[in-house]
Structure 1
Amino acid sequence: MTIRTRLTLRFTGLVSAILALAFACLYAFCWYFISSDFYRRLDRKADTVGELLIRQRMEPHLLGQITRLRKDQLPAQKLAVYDGRNSPVFITNEQRPLAVSTKDLDAIRKKKSKKFRQGAAYVTGIRYETDAEQYVVLASAENHYGDQFLRRMLVVLIGLFGVIVAIVAFSGWLYAGEVLRPIQRMEQQLNHIFPNTLQKRLPVRADNDEISRLSTTINRLLDRIDESFRLQRMFVANVSHELKNPLTQISSQLEVALLNRRESAVYEQTIRSVLDDVGDLSTLTRELLQLSQVSQASAVNLLTDSVRLDEVIWDIRDEVGATNPRYEVSVYFDELPDDFNQLAVPGNTALLRIALKNLTENACKFSDDGKARIQVRFNETTVLISVENTGVPIPAEDLPYIFEPFYRSRKTAETRGYGVGLSLVERIVRLHQGKITVQSSDGQTIFRLELVRTFTA
């Protein structure tokens, strides 16, 4: 069922319910007014009979004649008086018997009055008392005009209800179509957006309504998709390039080695060169696997440790210093806490070690003197880590792209690497709900990490 149909049905149902309630109240009011007015007329006739027959002691036959001669006779009118033994002492219109049960008469004596229906007739009963006996005066008649008016009114209301419901349903269908027309236009425009036309965007109206906000949200989603496709294309192109070079070198060296017979030393040199290229391929493959495995979807299974950052940093200082005698790492803590658990963050020890080691090795690799400085600060909610080095700063035009996979600036193009390390660091930090920023100017480069001490849902 389409949204337009559901809106039409709900709108029609709501209006129909309100209209039915209004018509029911109108009919009930008319029925109550007509019935009450007719019962009042019967009460007056019963009072008249009771007053003349019981109070004034008028002869029954004389009262019967007066009653028949009156011009305000009601349709099928019948008057009756019963004594304390439920025996009739006065009855008019005897050809139309009024069958009132003893139970009804007792109820009238108990309640002093009672109004009820007997078939098509309206009946009212009043108790009259004398010193000697209790009497019950009954007056009944048929309300032809009132009942006919109510029947006609019911038919008119039902017909009017059907007509109005039909008009409301048609109007609701048109109104729902008008309301959903912008969404239909959005659907048509989105159907014309393909991977090769991702630059297209939905028009956003000036009025800040729900449709405009939805268009803005979809445009932002398209921006992210476009950026994802761009990164994917760049990733594939860079991976192809990085894989092509060592594979070409391996193939060329082996082909050259097979052209002629050579001495064993030449073959040994060729094999060592091929092994170096295979090692480069292995390193690249390992870094790509690490990059692909770090995603937000795996956070639940990965981030289960309580990581003491001070211990990780000291280990990294020793590891980086051992990889190259020229590298030197200095670690500074602004103020050590009384409780060292304040330096712990939730996460994954191996991933945080990879991120901090990559930053530290990069800092040593691109510094003028091979030195890096790690500074640690903490507060109640976060742990702040800065990795600094001195040397040629990163160009300002390269800063927005350094965390993209395989991006290498002019400064790093001459240095051995694949451009995966900083992208991996950024993903790991984001996985830990942290932030990483970089500042590079005046011969100094600083990477700042902000890791939270408590994850948010």
Structure 2
Amino acid sequence: MTIRRRLTIRFTGLVSAILALTFASVYGFCWYYISSDFYHRLDRKAHTYGELYLRQRVEPSLIRQLSRLRKDQLPSQKVTIYDANNVPVFSTNDAVLGMPPRELDAIGKRDRRDFRWQHLYVSGIRYSVPSGNYIVLASAENVYGDVFLRTLLWAFSALFLLIVGIVAFAGRLYAGDALEPMQRIEQQLSAIFPGTLHERLRVGGENDELSRLSATINRLLDRIEESFRLQRMFVANVSHELKNPLTQINSQLEVSLLNRREPEVYQQTIRSVLEDVHDLSALTRELLQLSQVNEADAAVMLRDSIRVDEIIWDVRQEVSAINPRYEVQVDLGELPEDFDQLTITGNLALLRTALKNLTENACKFSTDGRALIAVEFRKETVYIRVENDGAAIPATDLPYIFEPFYRARQTADVRGYGVGLSLVQQIVRLHRGRLTVRSAEGESNVFRVELPRQPVAAA
């Protein structure tokens, strides 16, 4: 069922319920007023005839004659008086109103009772005189009241059906008008393909739900377009990085097979090929690490209790072993008295990889091979700062240094693949942290990692 149909049905149902309740209330009020008024008139006639016959002892023939002369006679009016034995002793008509004894007994117990019997309205009262107890019944047909109520019921029924039909038609029109922006959004989204990801939805000037939905979809399209751009760049760069060593391997092997050569030449070729294979293996390993950092698996991966000071010393030792020229200084600042404040929750292997990459890069691009790791412990967050005194990163390169395979012009001659910083950023994001960089001429290059003690799962 479409939203338009659901909205139409719900709107029509709501209005119908309100309308039915209103009509039922009006009809009920009219019925109560007409019935109460008619019973009140019957009650006065019962009292009048009871007074004349039982208290004033007027002759029955005279009472009947007076009854015929009165102008306020009701349709099919009849007054009947019963004695204590439920035997009729007086009636304004020749035909006595045959009332079941149970009805008369009910009146005797309650002094007064109004009820319907067959097509008549009946009002009965109990009259007590010295000669005994009597029951006086006044009955009549409420012709005009019943006709009015039937006419009112038919009018309300026809009016209800007419209004419900109008409301259903109007509700369908209004639902279609309200959903028109949604249909327009659907059409615009259906026209967006990978080749037209630059297109965006129109956002109206009103700050309503549809405008906010369009803005949210546009932000989603921005992220999708950025993902496609990164994917295309990733594939292009990977192809380039894989093509170079494969081409070199192929060329060296082809040259070696052209002519018979000395064993030393073959050994040199094999060493060169092994070096290219090692580069391929290192690149593949880094790509696997990059692909395995998935935020969807954060709840499973972030379960280790990590001592920050210990992992810092481990990173210092590993980086120093890579190159004798590298020198890593550690500044743990003011350590908290509670050793639990030195601990965060995360993935030990991934954090070690991230800090190792940052520290190795700092040493690699430093003028003297030195890097500083400074740690600041706070109540909810741990800040790790890695800095060196190398050349400043150009401002034009700063927005792109965390993209896979991006290599700045000043680092083009440095051995590497441009994957390390992208991997660091993904690891920090996995831990719900933040990675920032600050670099300017005449100042140290500073990479700052902000890690919460308890990473919050992604929504």
TM range (shorter): over 0.9
Return the offset for 1:443.
4.1
Q: Percent identity?
A: 67
Secondary structure, aligned partner of 2:6: helix
Return the offset for 1:65.
2.3
Q: CA RMSD in A?
A: 1.1
1:6-155 to 2 correspondences below 5 Å = 6-95=6-95, 97-155=96-154
Cα distance in 1 for partners of 2:191, 2:413 equals 44
Cα distance in 1 for partners of 2:183, 2:451 equals 45
1:110-259 to 2 correspondences below 5 Å = 110-259=109-258
Return the offset for 1:70.
2.2
CA deviations on 1:56-82 (whole Å, 9 max, x unpaired) are 111222212222332222122111111
Return the offset for 1:101.
2.3
Cα distance in 2 for partners of 1:18, 1:349 equals 64
Cα distance in 1 for partners of 2:384, 2:311 equals 12
Amino acid at match of 1:331: V
Cα distance in 1 for partners of 2:26, 2:98 equals 33
Cα distance in 2 for partners of 1:456, 1:137 equals 85
2:42–2:123: 8 Å Cα contact kept in structure 1?
yes
CA deviations on 1:116-149 (whole Å, 9 max, x unpaired) are 0001100000111113311111000111111111
Cα distance in 2 for partners of 1:165, 1:308 equals 71
Amino acid at match of 2:77: Q
2:346–2:455: 8 Å Cα contact kept in structure 1?
no
* Uncovered stretches (5+) of structure 2, i.e. residues with no partner: none
CA deviations on 1:305-346 (whole Å, 9 max, x unpaired) are 111111011011111111111000010111011122211111
Cα distance in 1 for partners of 2:340, 2:263 equals 60
Aligned: 1:395 with 2:394: yes
Return the offset for 1:420.
0.3
The aligned counterpart of 1:417 is 416
Cα distance in 2 for partners of 1:317, 1:306 equals 20
User: Structure 1 residue runs of 4+, over 6 Å off?
Assistant: none
Return the offset for 1:99.
2.9
Secondary structure, aligned partner of 2:391: coil
Cα distance in 2 for partners of 1:280, 1:29 equals 93
The aligned counterpart of 1:447 is 447
Instruction: Single out whichever of 160-169 and 333-342 deviates more from structure 2.
Output: 333-342
1:320-335 to 2 correspondences below 5 Å = 320-335=319-334
Return the offset for 1:282.
0.4
2:385–2:446: 8 Å Cα contact kept in structure 1?
yes
Cα distance in 1 for partners of 2:82, 2:402 equals 106
Secondary structure, aligned partner of 1:411: helix
Cα distance in 2 for partners of 1:232, 1:365 equals 28
Amino acid at match of 1:108: I
2:373–2:385: 8 Å Cα contact kept in structure 1?
yes
The aligned counterpart of 2:4 is 4
Q: Count the aligned residue pairs.
A: 456
Return the offset for 1:395.
0.7
Cα distance in 2 for partners of 1:361, 1:455 equals 26
Cα distance in 2 for partners of 1:58, 1:273 equals 142
Cα distance in 2 for partners of 1:449, 1:175 equals 53
Cα distance in 1 for partners of 2:138, 2:413 equals 117
What is the TM-score of this pair, normalised by structure 1?
Answer: 0.98
Amino acid at match of 2:8: T
Amino acid at match of 1:444: S
Cα distance in 2 for partners of 1:77, 1:455 equals 89
